[in-house]
Amino acid sequence: MSKKSTKKKCIDLYSGIGGWALGFKLCGIEITKSFEWWSDAAITHDINLNLSTDQCNIREQNPKRINEKIDFLVGSPPCTQFSYSNRGGSGNIKDGLKDISKFLEFVKVLKPKYWAMENVPRVANVISRELNTNGFLKEFRDICSNSMIHIYDFSEFGLPQKRKRCI
C-alpha cells in the first residue's frame, strides 16, 4: 500500500507581482489563493505564474469565508506608510497598521501551520510597540511576539544588493 502524497497549500495576501508565490511554486507548494488590489501587479502576477489573483481590497475581505485547510500563509502588506523613502518617513502609520492587522486576522482565523509577513525594517519597531502596549495590535499577542520579528539583509541570501527587510 502506497502512502498518499498530499500537496502542501499556501495563500498569498498582498501578493504584488508574485514573489512569494514564485518561491512557493518552485518548491512544489500549491498557491490556492492570491489577493492583490493593484491591477497592474495582479495582471503581472497572473501572467508570470499562470495563476488567478483575486483582485480586491484585502481590508474588506473576511477570512472566515475561506473554507480550506492551508499549510502556509504569506504576504507583504503595503510598506508605503512605514517606509522612510515615502515622505521622509512621515507616512500614516495608523493606516498602515490596518493592513498589518488584517494580515494577522487572516492568521488567527485560518490557523496555518506556518506564516510569514514581509515589510520594511521600520515595521519591526512599530509592531513591537503595538504588541507591547495597549496598541492597535494587542489582540494578536497570542499569535505574534517580539521573538518572532527579525530583520534580514537579503544580500546575505544571494540578492545582488543590500536590502534589509522585516520578516
101's enclosing H/E stretch is helix 93-110
Catalytic residue among 10, 56, 79, 144: 79
Instruction: Report the alpha-carbon angle 93-95-96, nearest 5.
Output: 60
Longest alpha-carbon distance in the chain: 62
Residue found by looking up cell 501551520 in the block: 113
CB atoms under 10 Å from CB of 78, counted, come to: 20
Cα torsion angle, 18, 35, 76, 85, sign: positive
Catalytic annotation present for 56: no
152's enclosing H/E stretch is strand 151-153
Active site residues: 79
